[in-house]
Amino acid sequence: MTRPAAFATVGAAIGTGRIDRRVLHATVAERIRDLITQGTLAPGARLNERVICDRLGVSRTPLREALKVLAGEGLVRLTPNRGAEVTRLSRDEVEQTFELMGALEALAGELAASRATGAEIAALGRLNAAMRQAHGARDLPGYYRANQSIHAGIAAAARNPVLAQTYRNINTRIQALRFSSNLNRDKWDAAMREHDQMLEALEARDGPRLGALMRAHLAHKRVIVLAQLDGQEKVVASVRFGAGLEADARLAHQPHAAARLDAASAARVDVASGTRRKTRPVPRDSVGRGGVR
């Protein structure tokens, strides 16, 4: 997958903002988590403790606590005698995780449509408006923050704590991939339209439709991300528009429809070559010796 232009050394990415010592490891974890989610720290990037401690003005103890938190979330891999690095999911793991997330989001949508309060639906509507504003301004970080809040809000409105916790645990592993799926303008525009349709279904308290729309939304993300991982960065702009999404939603809601939806989604991928290309490995330079490039 092509790395974002913002990808830089760990030191440059983190900046020099000191952290309030009253929050320490939680804030360190949040800072690194955001950099991973936004793709600034790419899969496989080595996390040099000395550089990070120097940039953030903290000792190694809170940093190591933060890295343990991130390792528990699946974002960082800790290896004896090698330190920490950003987790790199295999293609199969990515595909399987998106499949699971599609099922979780669909269930959350179905339940939220009947269990959400009027205040919660109004709040989600405001978040969707904020997301649309960020989309219009081409503010991808702002868009994604609102996007995360919407999906988390729907999961919370389902009134199923086990579902909400499972959603958080699994979603954390693919946040960076979900973020990168909007780097192309056409794909981003399509995702925004899909969210408008999901809000309409929620406001109408149409659980089956909302669940099907959310399952289709994740299926589209999966196709885009897998194409990126395969080096196929040209995906047809019709990654679904209007009626196309509704059609996929109806298909996704039918028994045994997943395979057919995958085939329909794959058919819209504009493959530059007929063979799968391997993604270029990320250089594993130690940050302390010139940084991850």
Rounded to an integer, the average pLDDT of 257-270 is: 38
Given this model, what pLDDT does residue 90 score?
93
Count other Cβ atoms within 10 Å, centred on residue 233.
Answer: 14
What is the per-residue pLDDT across 46-96, written as a single tens digit (0 to 9) for each? Answer: 999 999 999 888 899 999 999 999 999 889 999 998 899 999 999 999 999
Q: Taking Cα atoms as reference points, which of 206, 232, 190 lies closest to residue 1?
A: 232
Contact residues for 255 (Cβ-Cβ < 8 A; gap 6+): none
Q: For residues 261 and 252, give the distance between their C-alpha atoms in angstroms, rounded to a whole number.
A: 6
Given this model, what pLDDT does residue 284 score?
37
Query: In whole numbers, what is the pLDDT of the chain averaged over residues?
Result: 79
Q: For residues 50 and 28, give the distance between their C-alpha atoms in angstroms, rounded to a whole number.
A: 14
Q: For residues 76 and 189, give the distance between their C-alpha atoms in angstroms, rounded to a whole number.
A: 31
Confidence at 39, pLDDT banded by 50, 70, 90: confident
Q: What is the phi/psi pair of residue 79, to 5°?
A: -125, 125
What is the per-residue pLDDT across 148-180, written as a single tens digit (0 to 9) for each? Answer: 999 999 999 999 999 999 999 899 889 888 888
Confidence at 261, pLDDT banded by 50, 70, 90: very low
